[in-house]
Chain A
C-alpha cells in the first residue's frame, strides 16, 4: 500500500520533470517563443527607461506676453523664470505670436500680463495674470501653473506687507500670509515619469509576454498536432495535473530570472525608487507569475495557430495598463470595468508591486492584492486543467477520425 503510494508519487515526479524538460526544449528551440520569453523582458524595460528617463520635465519652455512693461510686471516675470519648473525663453508682442511659438513646438505655454497689471496693483485692486498651457502633453500644465502660482504668492506677500502698513500699522508682516502650506512628496521624491510608469510597465510585460509565449507554443502544438507525449502522460494517474505542473515549472524558472532582472536590476541601473524588501517582493511575485502562467495556459485553448496569440493579446496591453488604476485613478473607473479588471492578474500585480517597490509597503499592506493573486492562481489552475483536458481530448478524437 505505502509502496504503491510511493511509486505513484515517484511516477508523478518523473512525469512532471519530463514535461518540464519537454516544454523547456520547445521554448529554447523556438525563436518566436524565445523573443517573447527572453528578448522582450530583457530589452523592453531598457527601451522604456531610456525613453522616460529624462524624468519629469523641469524648465518647461514658455513665452511671456508683457503688455504692461512696468517694474512690477518685470518682477513677476523674473520670479517665474527663477522657478525650477519653467524657463522663459522668449517674450512675444501678442497672444497670436505666443500661440505661434507653441505651434512651432518651441514653447508649451505662455503667461499674459495685461496692460493694467501695475495700475490695478497700485490702486489696491486685484490684477489678473492669464496662464495658458498647451494641452497636447499632460505634464506642462502643472509645471506652468506651479511656477505662476509660486511667483504670485511671493509677490502677493510683498505687496501685502507694503499695504499692511496702511491698514494695520502695528501688526507685523506675518499677517500678510496667515497659513503656509508645504508639500511633502513621499516615496517618489523625483516625481519622475520613469519612476511612475516603469514599475507598472515591467509587471505588465511579465503577463503579456507569458500570454504571447504560452499562446504561441500552444498554437504551434495545435498546428502540428504534436501531443503524443502529452497524451501518453495524461493517461497515467493524475497525468494532466503533472502536465500542468511540468509546463508551469518550465516558465516559472525562466521568469524567475527575467522577473528578478526586471524588478531588481533595471530599477537599480536607472536609479528608480526601490523601497521594497526582497522577501516581500519574492513572496508577492510568486503568485503573480503563477497566476499569469495558468491564465495564459487557460487561454491557449483558443489558439489554433502559432501567430494567433500575437493578434489577440498585443492589442490588450494598452487597455490593461489603463484599467489597472496606475495612470487613471482606480476610484474613477466605472464599477463594471473594475470588475473586468479583476479578471487579469496584472491589475493586482501592478498595484501591489508598485506599492511595495515605490511606496515601501509591506506584504501585509498589500494583502488584498496578494490574496487576489492566490485566488486567481487557484482558479486559473483549475481552468488550465480543464483547458488542457479539452485540448488533448480534441486531439485524440481528431487522430482517431484520421485513422478511421
Chain B
C-alpha cells in the first residue's frame, strides 16, 4: 500500500534527480539561460530607437531652384528622413534603390517653382518599393506631410499678402485636419508590438523543445523505467516532479523578462504586474503542455522535437502578431487555434494593452488552460510508450 509519505519521498527523489541533470548539461544551460537572455537583449537593443529614424532616401531635383532646395531641406529635417542622397537623374536614383542604398526616391520635376508660382499644380512624386515594408511606409507618410507643408506655405504667403489673419489662413489652407492616435501605444513604438510577443514566442518554443527533450532523453538513454520506478510507478507524479524544475527556472526567466520590459523599459501595461506574472506562468505551463502533448502523440524523440520546432516557428506567423488575424483565410484562422501563442496574444492584447478585466480575456486564458491540461488525456499512452519503447535513432 502506498502511503502519502512515500509519494512525497519519491517526488523529492525525482525532483532532485532532474535538478542535477538540468545543472550538469551545457545544452540545458544554453536553452534555459543563454538563448532567452540573448533574445531579450537582442530584441530590445535592435529596436531601441522605437520608430526608425534617419532612413536613407534619394532626391532627384530636376528643378534646381531656391524653392526646390527649400523643399529638400524641409524634407531632410523630418525626423524619419535621413540626409538625402542627391541624384542628378532618376535612373541614378533607381540604381541606388536597387543597390539597397536608399529606401525611396523623391522626385521634384523640372519647372517646379515656376509651375507653383503660376498655379499649374506641379507634382511631387515619391517612388518606393514595399520590398522593405516598414521604411517604405514611414517615408511615404513623411512625403505626404511634405506636400502638405509646401502647399500650405505657398498658400499662406499669398493669403497673408491679402491681409488674412492666421486663423483664417489655417482654416483655408487645411480646413479638415486629421489627428492620428495610436490606441494603446501613443508613441508608435514598433518595439512595443514586436518585442512583447516575439520574446514569449521564443520562450515558448524553447520550453516546448526542452520538455520534449527531457522526457524523450529518458527513452533515448534507456532510463525511462528507472525514472518511473523512482516516481513510485506513478506517471503523474514522475512527470510533475521531473518537469517542475523547468517550470521554476523558466518562470524565473520569464519574470526577469517581464520586469525588464514592463518595469525597467516601461512598456505599456495596463493590468498591473501580478496579472503579467500570472500570464507568464500560464505561458510556461501551456508551452510545457504542448511539448508533452507532442511527445505523447509522437513518442519518438527526434520526430517529436522536429514537430515541436516546426510548430513553434509557424506560431509567430499565425498568432496574429505580424499578420492580422482578420486577414487570414478561414482554414488558417481555424488552424491558428492550435497554437498556444495565439492565446497568449489574445490575453496580451486584452489585458496588457487594453487593460480589460480577467473575464473579458476568458478566451485566451481558456486556450492556455486547455494546453496545460490536454496532455493529461494521454498520460496512460505516454506511460505505456515510456515503458515499452526502445530508442531507435
Contact = CB atoms under 8 A, between A and B. Distances in A.
A159 interface: yes
A105 interface: yes
Interface in B296-327: 301-303, 305-306, 309-310, 312-314, 316-318, 320-327
A279 interface: no
Interface in B111-154: 116, 119-135, 137, 140-141, 143-144, 147, 150-151, 154
A83 interface: no
Given A126-B177, A127-B176, A142-B137, A311 B30 contact: yes
Contact of A127 (B124, B177, B326): B177
Contacts of A334: 45-46, 48
B310 A40 contact: yes
Given A311-B27, A332-B52, A333-B46, A186 B302 contact: no
Contacts of B76: none
Contacts of A359: 97-98, 129, 131
B318 A102 contact: no
Interface in A115-154: 120-121, 123-142, 145, 148-149, 152
A237 interface: no
A323 B30 CA distance: 21
A368 B183 CA distance: 41
Contacts of B185: 135
A32 B313 contact: no
Contacts of A337: 42, 45-46
Interface string B18-40: 00000000010011000100010
B229 interface: no
A220 B288 CA distance: 26
Contacts of A126: 170-171, 174-177
A8 B61 CA distance: 64
A317 interface: yes
Interface stretch (A164-172, A259-267, A293-301, A378-386): A164-172
A346 to B, nearest CB: 14
Interface in A170-184: 171-172, 174-175, 177-184
Contact of A131 (B82, B178, B323): B178
B377 interface: no
B239 to A, nearest CB: 20
B88 interface: no
B393 A306 contact: yes
A47 B82 CA distance: 37
B250 interface: no
B310 A124 contact: no
Contact of A182 (B45, B125, B306, B349): B125
Contact of B128 (A132, A186, A195): A186
Contacts, number: 326
Contacts of B356: 103
A145 B141 contact: yes
Interface in B342-372: 349-350, 353-354, 356, 360
A255 interface: no
Nearest to A152: B176
Contact of A178 (B54, B119, B193, B349): B119
A140 B129 contact: no
Contacts of A159: 175-176
Interface string B43-58: 1011111001111100
B244 interface: no
B91 interface: no
B42 A319 contact: yes
Contacts of A125: 167, 170-171
Given A135-B184, A179-B154, A185 B130 contact: yes
A179 B124 contact: yes
A178 B393 contact: no
A178 B114 CA distance: 12
A156 B176 contact: yes
Contact of B126 (A57, A181, A220, A319): A181
A29 to B, nearest CB: 11
Contact of B103 (A131, A310, A329): A329
A125 B164 CA distance: 12
A250 interface: no
Contacts of B127: 184-186
Contacts of A140: 324
A314 B312 contact: yes
A193 B323 contact: yes
B126 to A, nearest CB: 5
Contact of B183 (A133, A178, A220): A133
A35 interface: yes
Contact of B140 (A44, A156, A183, A355): A183
In the A-B complex, the 8 residue pairs with the smallest Cβ-Cβ separation, listed nearest first, are A332-B52, A361-B98, A181-B147, A137-B324, A314-B309, A329-B135, A135-B185, A152-B176
Interface of A: 31-32, 35-36, 40, 44, 47-48, 50-54, 57, 61, 76, 99, 102-103, 105, 108-109, 120-121, 123-142, 145, 148-149, 152, 155-156, 159-160, 163, 167-168, 171-172, 174-175, 177-188, 191-193, 195-196, 220, 223-224, 306-308, 310-312, 314-315, 317-319, 322-323, 325-329, 331-334, 337, 351, 354-355, 358-362, 365-366, 368-369
12 contacts: A57-B324, A128-B177, A174-B121, A178-B119, A179-B124, A179-B154, A186-B129, A311-B210, A312-B27, A314-B313, A328-B46, A332-B49
